[in-house]
């Protein structure tokens, strides 16, 4: 259970059993750009403490063969692989979250993150997985299919959901996000009201960023609750194309970053379009913050945003426009 410090690029191999880190695992110094391979092709790899919390790694690859990679710390755990950049942190083997985990790979030059197999909670309903990849990419397979996670947060350049990801709340901050193959984002969280909580939040971290699906390959979602599309740091809205189950009609909300306390429309209205098989026209609105005054599509709102639904080709699109800002 003592802390382990890696003083050279290291490969740990166990040909006939598991590997357990009972305490903290760190590099000797972050500037040394240490790499670590943990390989237990017939066993289980267990992390009971933080990884790289005191001195981050440049690369981390964990292989557990047919068995499991377990995070079972006594408190939420952190994995920091933020050095050097250009590498890919890989977890090959099913991951079991006996504790909530945050994986950080964003740095001056970011590293990528790949979960090559599924992520589950072992039956617990209060587990969270957070991935902060900075300008690196994130690739996920199935997440929370046996028991939904409480929260799934992914931030990165390109975020790919290759199989179903299920969580009570899902937050995606990405330049681009896609659901590949049969992948779908699902949240069982029901709609309460427009004050939240949000089942799915989409935002782009950079001005002009935030492409969630395309017209030909829409982001596949199954969200009966509140869907929030938040503007990018440059206060432009992401581009969102959704495809979902017609029987699961989400509630949409688009809102301005309240820290800016204003929306700069200039002479061009904010325009948003969502594609969905069937839209709840009475449960969609765009919310802006103008000098601290919340404006929405409800009756009597100041400068209400106009949302119209147009049907065609078996789908319906929702286009929301706000009037130019009054000078």
Structure-token pair, residue 156: 């990165």
Q: Tell me, what's the pLDDT at 222?
A: 84
Q: Tell me, what's the pLDDT at 27?
A: 98
Q: What is the C-alpha to C-alpha distance for residues 229 and 227, in angstroms, rounded to an integer? A: 7
Omega into 224 within 30° of 0, i.e. cis? no
Q: Tell me, what's the pLDDT at 293?
A: 38
Q: What are the average pLDDT values for consecutive 10-residue runs of the chain, which has 327 residues?
A: 95 95 98 98 96 98 92 98 97 98 96 98 96 97 97 96 97 92 89 78 73 80 79 64 63 43 28 42 44 39 42 43 43
Q: What is the C-alpha to C-alpha distance for residues 279 and 310, in angstroms, rounded to an integer? A: 10
Q: Tell me, what's the pLDDT at 201?
A: 87
pTM: 0.82
Q: If you search the block for the tokens 């049907």, which residue do you land on?
A: 311
Q: CB-side exposure of 183: number of CA atoms within 13 Å?
A: 23
Q: Tell me, what's the pLDDT at 203?
A: 83
Contacts (Cβ under 8 Å, ≥6 apart) of 277: 243, 244, 245, 246, 314, 315, 316
Q: Tell me, what's the pLDDT at 316?
A: 42
Residue 36's SS3 state is strand
Q: Tell me, what's the pLDDT at 197?
A: 85
Q: Please work out, in degrees rounded to the nearest 5, the angle formed at the alpha carbon of residue 140 by the alpha carbons of 93 and 176.
A: 160
Q: Tell me, what's the pLDDT at 275?
A: 42
- Cβ proximity of 24 and 52 under 8 Å: no
């Amino acid at each position: 259970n003592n802390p382990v410090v890696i003083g050279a690029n290291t490969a740990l191999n166990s040909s006939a059993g598991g590997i357990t880190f009972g305490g903290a695992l760190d590099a000797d110094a972050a500037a040394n750009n240490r790499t670590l391979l943990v390989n237990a092709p017939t066993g289980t790899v267990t992390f009971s403490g933080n990884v790289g919390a005191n001195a981050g790694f440049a690369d981390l690859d964990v292989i557990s063969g047919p068995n499991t990679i377990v995070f079972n710390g006594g408190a939420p755990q952190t994995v920091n692989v933020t050095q050097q950049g250009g590498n890919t942190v890989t977890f090959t083997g099913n991951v079991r979250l006996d504790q909530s985990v945050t994986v950080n790979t964003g740095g001056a030059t970011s590293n990528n993150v790949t979960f090559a197999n599924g992520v589950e909670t072992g039956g617990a309903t209060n587990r969270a997985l957070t991935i902060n990849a900075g300008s690196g990419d994130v690739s996920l397979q199935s997440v929370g299919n046996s028991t939904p996670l409480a929260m799934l947060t992914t931030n990165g350049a390109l975020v790919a959901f290759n199989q179903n990801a299920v969580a009570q709340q899902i937050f995606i901050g990405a330049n681009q996000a896609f659901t590949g193959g049969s992948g779908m984002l699902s949240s069982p969280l029901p709609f309460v009201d427009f004050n939240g909580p949000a089942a799915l939040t989409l935002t782009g971290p950079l001005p002009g960023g935030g492409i969630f699906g395309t017209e030909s390959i829409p982001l596949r979602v199954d969200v009966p609750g509140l869907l929030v599309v938040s503007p990018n740091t440059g206060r432009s809205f992401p581009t969102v194309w959704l495809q979902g189950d017609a029987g699961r009609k989400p509630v949409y909300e688009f809102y301005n970053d309240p820290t800016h306390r204003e929306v700069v429309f200039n002479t061009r209205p904010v325009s948003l379009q969502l594609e969905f098989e069937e839209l709840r026209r009475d449960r969609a609105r765009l919310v802006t913050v103008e000098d601290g005054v919340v404006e929405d599509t409800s009756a009597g709102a100041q400068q209400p945003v106009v949302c119209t639904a147009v049907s065609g080709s078996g789908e319906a699109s929702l286009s929301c426009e706000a009037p130019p800002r009054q000078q």
